[in-house]
């Protein structure tokens, strides 16, 4: 649905690029690397096949976080590096190149991403790892493949994109480019015009279940939970399915949620702060750190999912439409106890709080407003909307 999911690995020119998705296949390189391993995405596989059968244009994979861009890019890269690729299935899984990739590395696959301590790919890295290696013949395969991350607005800035333009337009026949982004409009028009754009949409629940089963997951309850929260994004489902910390956090947030209408304002604020702050890793400074923002995002989105379900139940929508079906009885009991509860305004308040914190609003003040507002809305106490909600985007 909304949870952050990203696995970015540092690419080093001196070492072969890794192919981390290798599990749950008994070592079968054919299945690991095949385009067929991209479950439930025939509309995606068909345009990828065009790159194998002769279209040399750079491929621009566009999809939101968790849509599977990295996974699809590596399957396409495997097919392009394969000695004997199949026109429909991609990499053969048996040649020397495929065996090397299945083992976790390949010297002719170069991935360009920000270093671990940076958000942006340095222009010098683009020049060194792309322009500087462009004319070198492949070491093993018949091609060299570059996978370039431009997923976020800051990942590949305008200077980096400009440094990439000439290599995209003028390169040896053995070179292929795959570019990843969440929003193609963030890229220069000249990059978009040089590329073949492939959009990665959301998958059905059945597709997500198939992907989870392919990963080796067997816990049906865990899969059901991951599918409901993934909102059609396979990466998010894979991140959630085995994450016990997420399940524990979800249980804690729900316990707070159902107690909130009947507890005091002191409880609302102090316990809310405990949920939002991961005390084991909280920073001592005033500026929220990345891990703290991730924690806050998870808690706010869990609250939003509970409010969504509460609103559906209040409108007599069948339980099957809920995200948190296992909490349906408790939510119905809340509505019975507080029939004037206003989950709609409460959900709007959560959304505005998220935007305010993203804009660096004062943390304690914003959280106090959120928790006080949730307590009022969930208990059905009469309150003017403008006391907690603002018509504009943020909370001040």
Task: Tell me, yes or no, whether 322 lies in a domain.
Answer: yes
Q: Quick one: pLDDT at residue 19?
A: 39
| 11 C-beta neighbours (distance < 10 Å), count | 23
Backbone torsion region of residue 211, taken as left when φ is above 0, otherwise alpha when ψ lies between -120 and 50, otherwise beta: alpha
Work out the burial of residue 62: count CB atoms within 10 Å of its CB; fewer than 13 is exposed, 13-18 middle, 19 or more buried.
Answer: buried
Task: Tell me, yes or no, whether 36 lies in a domain.
Answer: yes
The pLDDT tens digits of the residues spanning 177-227 come to 999 999 999 999 999 999 999 998 888 888 888 888 888 888 888 898 888
Task: Tell me, yes or no, whether 139 lies in a domain.
Answer: yes
Please check whether residue 363 is in contact with residue 288, taking contact to mean a CB–CB distance below 8 angstroms.
Answer: yes
Task: Tell me, yes or no, whether 167 lies in a domain.
Answer: yes
Mean pLDDT across 155-174: 94
The pLDDT tens digits of the residues spanning 265-318 come to 999 999 999 998 865 444 444 455 666 778 898 899 899 999 999 999 999 988
Domain containing residue 327 = 244-387
* pLDDT above 70 coverage of the chain, percent: 86
Query: What mean pLDDT is reported for the chain?
Result: 84
DSSP code at position 87: T
Task: Tell me, yes or no, whether 285 lies in a domain.
Answer: yes
The pLDDT tens digits of the residues spanning 345-372 come to 999 999 999 988 888 888 889 999 999 9
- Distance linking the first and last C-alpha atoms of the chain: 27
The pLDDT tens digits of the residues spanning 375-390 come to 999 999 887 766 777 6
Q: Quick one: pLDDT at residue 263?
A: 94
Last residue of a domain, one of 150, 169, 201: 201
Return d(Cα 205, Cα 219) in angstroms, integer: 16
> Do 375 and 238 have their domain in common?
no
Q: Tell me: pLDDT of 264 over 50.
A: yes
SS3 state of residue 105? strand
State the pTM of this model: 0.72
Task: Tell me, yes or no, whether 9 lies in a domain.
Answer: no
Task: Tell me, yes or no, whether 3 lies in a domain.
Answer: no
Q: Quick one: pLDDT at residue 390?
A: 67
Mean pLDDT across 159-183: 95
Structural domains counted in the chain = 3
SS3 state of residue 62? strand
DSSP code at position 82: -
> Do 108 and 224 have their domain in common?
no
The pLDDT tens digits of the residues spanning 53-66 come to 878 899 999 998 88
> Do 59 and 122 have their domain in common?
yes
Task: Tell me, yes or no, whether 232 lies in a domain.
Answer: yes
> Do 321 and 223 have their domain in common?
no
Q: Quick one: pLDDT at residue 282?
A: 45
Helices (H), 38-81: 42-52, 69-81
Last residue of a domain, one of 150, 173, 201: 201
């Amino acid at each position: 649905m909304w949870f952050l999911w990203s696995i970015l690995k540092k690419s080093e020119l001196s070492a072969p690029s890794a192919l981390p998705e290798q599990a749950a296949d008994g070592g079968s390189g054919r299945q690991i690397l095949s385009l067929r391993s991209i479950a439930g995405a025939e509309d995606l596989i068909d345009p990828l096949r065009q790159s194998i059968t002769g279209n040399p244009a750079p491929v621009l994979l566009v999809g939101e976080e968790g849509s599977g861009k990295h996974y699809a890019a590596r399957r396409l890269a495997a097919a392009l590096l394969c000695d004997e690729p199949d026109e429909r299935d991609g990499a053969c899984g048996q040649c020397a190149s495929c065996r090397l990739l299945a083992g976790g590395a390949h010297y002719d696959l170069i991935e360009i991403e920000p270093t671990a301590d940076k958000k942006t790919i340095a222009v010098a890295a683009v020049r060194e790892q792309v322009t500087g290696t462009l004319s070198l013949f492949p070491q093993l395969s018949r091609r060299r493949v570059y996978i370039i991350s431009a997923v976020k607005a800051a990942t590949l800035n305008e200077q980096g994109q400009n440094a990439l333009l000439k290599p995209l337009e003028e390169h040896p026949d053995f070179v292929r480019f795959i570019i990843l982004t969440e929003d193609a409009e963030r890229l220069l028009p000249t990059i978009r015009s040089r590329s073949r754009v492939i959009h990665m949409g959301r998958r059905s629940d059945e597709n997500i279940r198939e992907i989870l089963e392919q990963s080796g997951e067997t816990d049906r309850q865990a899969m059901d939970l991951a599918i409901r929260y993934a909102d059609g994004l396979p990466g998010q489902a894979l991140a959630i399915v085995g994450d016990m910390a997420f399940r524990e956090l979800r249980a804690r947030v729900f316990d707070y949620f159902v107690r909130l209408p009947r507890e005091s304002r002191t409880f609302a604020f102090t316990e809310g702060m405990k949920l939002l702050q991961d005390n084991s890793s909280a920073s001592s400074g005033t500026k929220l750190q990345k891990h703290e923002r991730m924690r806050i995002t998870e808690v706010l989105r869990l609250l939003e999912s509970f409010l969504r379900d509460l609103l559906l139940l209040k409108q007599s929508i069948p339980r099957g439409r809920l995200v948190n079906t296992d909490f349906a009885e408790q939510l119905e009991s809340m509505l019975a106890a507080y029939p004037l509860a206003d989950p709609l305004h409460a959900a709007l308040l959560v959304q505005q709080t998220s935007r305010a914190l993203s804009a660096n609003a004062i943390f304690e003040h914003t959280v106090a407003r959120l928790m006080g507002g949730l307590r009022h809305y969930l208990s059905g106490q009469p309150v003017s909307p403008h006391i907690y909600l603002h018509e504009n985007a943020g909370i001040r």
